[in-house]
Amino acid sequence: MSGDLSPIDKAKFVAAKRAAELVEDGMRVGLGTGSTAAWLVRCLGEMVREDGLKITGVPTSARTAELAREVGIELITLDEARWLDLTIDGADEFDSELNLIKGGGGALLQEKIVATASDQMVVIADKAKEVETLGAFPLPIEVIPFGWQTSQALVEETLISMDVMGRSSTLRMNGASPYVTDEGNHILDLHLNRIGNPRQLALVLNQIPGVVENGLFIDICDTVVIGYGDGKVEVRDINEGTIETDRIDFVETDNLFADLND
């Protein structure tokens, strides 16, 4: 079954599988959202079922909660957990300081709250997500539905005043209707091309009335696990200044795929 995966899915899978090795018995683990994070949830589910790993998970979206339950991970709410040992999540872009753009999957608000309430946030990504400067991926911001067009105009004016390169924004759609987040909000995608000062932009965006949160994760993540389509993985820890390389054997994953397809 693992032979049917595209190179990009293999890369996501090996990053997730390697990151799952960081999870230890008794941990409270934040479970990210998106296709890479879904691999992580499946890998952890396999470890719970096959190896008796004892963890409690805090999901960052309804989608992740559903998958985690399906694979046998015990879930608690963030307020029950209060603080987490580790959050593992995907990203849309990461730079050399491990500043991130997240929210391509629309879950940035819960993702940021959960990651911030964790001792450590580990990002799992394929190599294509690494960038020199953030911003080619449209930056998602979550806005409340009331007066969203006014909030959009305020955001665009702010971008002009900050001299940010691209300034257009689009309302994310789900077919013919606006996309609705788990919190009942909408998402504006900001087409910026290049974010010269992500720290400043993150602070300024959150001052705009109607903006609930933005997808810039600054100083939240310190480790990235980068997957490659040939099974290679690289673990970079920017605090320790270390880079480890490893290899994940796809054959070992057959049980995982079988369980999912039964």
CB of 225 to ligand 5RP, least distance (A): 12
Among candidate residues 34, 33, 91, 39, the one with its CA nearest the CA of residue 59: 33
226, 189, 229: which is closest to 95 by C-alpha?
226
Residue 92 in the binding site for ligand 5RP (CB under 6 A): yes
Rounded CA separation 88/126 (Å): 14
Residue 233 to residues 97, 125, 173, 229, 240, Cα–Cα distance (Å): 19, 10, 35, 9, 18
Please identify, using beta-carbon distances, which residue of 32 and 198 lies nearer to ligand 5RP: 32
Provide the mask over 38-77, with x wherever binding to ligand 5RP is found by CB under 6 A and - wherever it is not.
----------------------------------------
> Which residue among 21, 24, 80, 111 is the active-site one?
111
Site string for ligand 5RP, 101-120 (x = CB under 6 A): -xxxxxxx--x---------
The reply, when asked if residue 90 is annotated as ligand binding, is yes
Instruction: Give me the least distance between CB of 211 and ligand 5RP, in Å please.
Output: 16
Q: How far is the CB of 215 from ligand 5RP (least distance, A)?
A: 7
Catalytic residue list contains 111: yes
Q: What strand order describes the sheet that includes 118-126? A: 74-75, 56-59, 28-31, 84-89, 118-126, 223-227, 232-237, 242-247
The stretch among 13-21, 30-38, 144-152, 239-247 that binds ligand 5RP (CB under 6 A) is 30-38
Of 90, 97, 165, nearest to 128 (Cα)? 90
CB of 15 to ligand 5RP, least distance (A): 9
| Residue 103 assigned as binding residue | yes
Residue span binding ligand 5RP (CB under 6 A) among the ranges 29-37, 159-167, 221-229, 248-256: 29-37
210 binds ligand 5RP per the rule CB under 6 A: no
Report d(CA 27, CA 23) in Å as an integer.
7
How many helices (H) and strands (E) would you count in the chain? 8, 17
Alpha-carbon distance of 132 to 176, in angstroms, equals 35
- The binding site consists of 33-36, 89-92, 102-105, 129
* Binding footprint of ligand 5RP on the chain (CB under 6 A): 32-37, 89-92, 102-108, 111
Q: Which residues are catalytic?
A: 111
